[in-house]
Amino acid sequence: MTDPISRTKTRAAPRKAVQPPAPPPRPALTTASALYLREDEIRRGIELLYFGYSSMIREVDAILEQEGFGRAHHRALYFIARSPGLAVGDLLRLLAITKQSLGRVLGELQDRGLVQQSIGTQDRRQRLLSLTPAGAALEASLFAELEARMASAYGEAGQAAVTGFWSVLIGLIAKADRPMVDSLGQS
Amino acid sequence: MTDPISRTKTRAAPRKAVQPPAPPPRPALTTASALYLREDEIRRGIELLYFGYSSMIREVDAILEQEGFGRAHHRALYFIARSPGLAVGDLLRLLAITKQSLGRVLGELQDRGLVQQSIGTQDRRQRLLSLTPAGAALEASLFAELEARMASAYGEAGQAAVTGFWSVLIGLIAKADRPMVDSLGQS
DNA sequence: GATATTGGGTCAGTCATGTTGACATATCTT
DNA sequence: AAGATATGTCAACATGACTGACCCAATATC
């Protein structure tokens, strides 16, 4: 029993502590230094995106928990608020989840009287989603939190920074998906 | 049974389709128009952040799935790669999850031979985390995907935009958390 | 007009990742 | 010596994803 790696043992077997690893082999400052600089810039972007998103959503999570909802409910509320009359299929494409997953969330929102459906006018198979007054009120309170954070960040950074912020994010989105995102504004 | 709202019924009761909602009451173009403009800018930021993050992570998810891992494993790998010798407690603070959640993830990574621990030099209670060569290889392949996306977005947007991108994201992070994020670079 | 496709809904089971709460052990601090 | 800290572990549970298999109604196609 020299190297207890397996996790299948019934009673816990502590994982071995090894020798401290050799320090990472930092290259001499030659032609490679530009590449290292670039890697750091990339990593910084990844990290800021991760922590920025987490921070923005944190307070919203707290409100949602009080209401007995989760982020999934919020995303549905958000996009329905953004594009009233959205069809179920369009919402599915935006969220990129399965019909079954969305079905549960949407069902709960309808049963709580926050979301309602109407029958499509051109295509009667469609179900067009909209918020009830209660749904609009909840969405507004959630949006207010996001807005406060975002407006403060915009203000700190300035208008030019906001433009840059947008354009980098657009660049991250696959070209095929960009029309979908762009069309959210004007409905 | 006019309004089958309850979800407690055994057999499905279809939710009612209501009258199409009145069109949203857009205000006349008075003093409020500046506010509406601002709301749209805020919503655009929220959406781009959501879709940008999703898009960036998408291909990484595919690789992880092949390996039988999830995003949680990736986050651990990422931060250990970023700050070799990171203590468990520091990783917990970065991820903002519970010890038990991290324990499972870290255990799996160790059992698969991707992560190893060593005993802290100043404080022998600490367990310092580092990647094995296999772990470093997997992390590198995941990073390569993120890097490709991010570098392309940086390139499309230009250096000035990248600076703006960073500064808005920093603004989103609570001031108390900023030192933690900043310290990732120089370890 | 018959048939195929599409939009939406539902049941059932599974998985990944988070949570509380309670304890155990080794090490550091006072 | 006593208490605080860093880490690990067991157990039970919640959420929100997933796959797969069906169903109905309405539209499109041949």
Confidence of residue A26 (pLDDT cuts 50, 70, 90): low
Which pLDDT belongs to residue B13? 64
The residue segments making up the domain with residue A166 are 56-179
Residues paired with B97 in a beta bridge:
none
Distance from residue B11 (CA) to nucleotide C12 (C1'), in Å? 15
Residue A27 has pLDDT above 90, yes or no: no
- Asked whether the beta carbons of A130 and B24 are under 8 A apart, the reply is no
Distance from residue B100 (CA) to nucleotide D12 (C1'), in Å? 13
Determine, for residues B20 and A163 on separate chains, whether the beta-carbon distance falls below 8 Å. no
In a domain, A39, yes or no: no
Distance from residue B86 (CA) to nucleotide C30 (C1'), in Å? 27
Determine, for residues A56 and B44 on separate chains, whether the beta-carbon distance falls below 8 Å. no
DSSP state of B33: H
Which pLDDT belongs to residue A12? 52
In a domain, A146, yes or no: yes
Buried b (16+ CB within 10 A) or exposed e, B70-108: eebbbbbbbbbbbbbbbbbebbbebbebeeeebeebbeb
In a domain, A17, yes or no: no
Total domains, chain B: 1
Which pLDDT belongs to residue A33? 60
In a domain, A27, yes or no: no
Give the closest nucleotide to A103 (alpha carbon vs C1'): C9
In a domain, B6, yes or no: no
Q: How far is A30 from chain B (nearest CA, A)?
A: 20
Q: CATH number, domain at B95? A: 1.10.10.10
Candidates A5, A39, A171; nearest CB to B156: A171
In a domain, A77, yes or no: yes
pLDDT single digits (tens) B5-23: 333 334 456 677 787 777 7
In a domain, B7, yes or no: no
Of A83, A72, A90, A184, which is closest to residue B45 (Cα–Cα)? A184
Scanning B13-42 for CB atoms below 8 A from A yields 15, 17-21, 24, 38-42
Candidates B7, B47, B117; nearest CB to A17: B117
Residue B113 contacts A, CB cutoff 8 Å: yes
Determine, for residues B118 and A17 on separate chains, whether the beta-carbon distance falls below 8 Å. yes
- Asked whether the beta carbons of B47 and A184 are under 8 A apart, the reply is yes
In a domain, B126, yes or no: yes
Look at residue B172 and give its three-state secondary structure.
Answer: helix
